């Protein structure tokens, strides 16, 4: 692990790389400085591990440009879990065969219009997987508007 790289957080958006380089150069050689614009953090790489440790101990939680700096060592990126699953967890069924070994499942498959068997009617709701309900009659007749001056009989 590289202990020379430091994460510098809680920066104001107006901080520039030159300002950080000046601040950290009091503790040794600064190899590189990178500030991410509009993010509020950056990275500083020092010449040696000892210089980085000294800068971290001296500057962590100190005020810089109106904010208290948060300084930590850079950690290596986490390994991707792609392709591996933990014991007891199922992988996603999208694109992979189901447990029974039949064809892969598709979103919305099951009881949709295209999956129905001959002789079956599509459901009235238009949503796959929901039962159709029998047609209901309205409890009151619909009101018709035949224009002005017409009365209902």
User: Running DSSP on this structure, what letter comes out for residue 113?
Assistant: G
Which H or E run contains 33? strand 30-36
Q: How many CB atoms lie under 10 A from the CB of residue 151?
A: 5
The pLDDT of 104-111, averaged and rounded, is 53
In this structure, what token pair is assigned to residue 146?
Answer: 């035949």
CATH architecture for the domain at 5-67 = 2-Layer Sandwich (3.30)
8 - beta bridge partners? Answer: 42, 71
DSSP structure string for 11-25: --TT--HHHHHHHHG
Task: State both tokens at 12.
Answer: 């104001």
What is the tens place of the pLDDT at every residue in 57-106? 999 999 999 999 999 998 888 887 665 555 555 554 454 444 455 555 55
Report pLDDT for 78.
81
SS3 (DSSP) at 57: helix
Taking residues 125-149, what's their average pLDDT? Answer: 63
Q: What percent of the chain has pLDDT over 70?
A: 51
pLDDT digits (tens, 9 = 90+) for 15-39: 999 999 999 999 999 999 999 989 9
Q: Which two tokens stand for residue 104?
A: 């892969």
Encoded tokens for 152: 């209902």
Q: Where are the beta strands (DSSP E) in the chain?
A: 5-9, 30-36, 41-46, 63-64, 67-68, 70-73
Q: How far is CA 33 from CA 5, 77, 143, in A?
A: 10, 19, 75
């Amino acid at each position: 692990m590289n202990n020379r790289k430091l994460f510098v957080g809680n920066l104001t958006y107006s901080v520039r790389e030159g300002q950080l380089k000046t601040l950290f150069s009091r503790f040794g050689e600064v190899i590189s400085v990178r500030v991410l614009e509009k993010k509020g953090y950056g990275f500083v790489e020092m010449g040696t591990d000892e210089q980085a440790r000294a800068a971290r101990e001296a500057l962590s939680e100190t005020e810089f440009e109106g904010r208290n700096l948060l300084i930590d060592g850079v950690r290596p990126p986490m390994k991707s879990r792609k392709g591996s699953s933990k014991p007891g967890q199922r992988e996603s069924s999208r694109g992979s065969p189901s447990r029974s070994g039949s064809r892969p499942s598709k979103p919305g498959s099951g009881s949709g219009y295209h999956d129905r068997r001959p002789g079956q009617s599509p459901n009235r709701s238009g949503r796959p997987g929901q039962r159709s309900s029998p047609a209901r009659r309205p409890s009151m007749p619909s009101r018709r508007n035949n224009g002005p001056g017409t009365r209902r009989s």
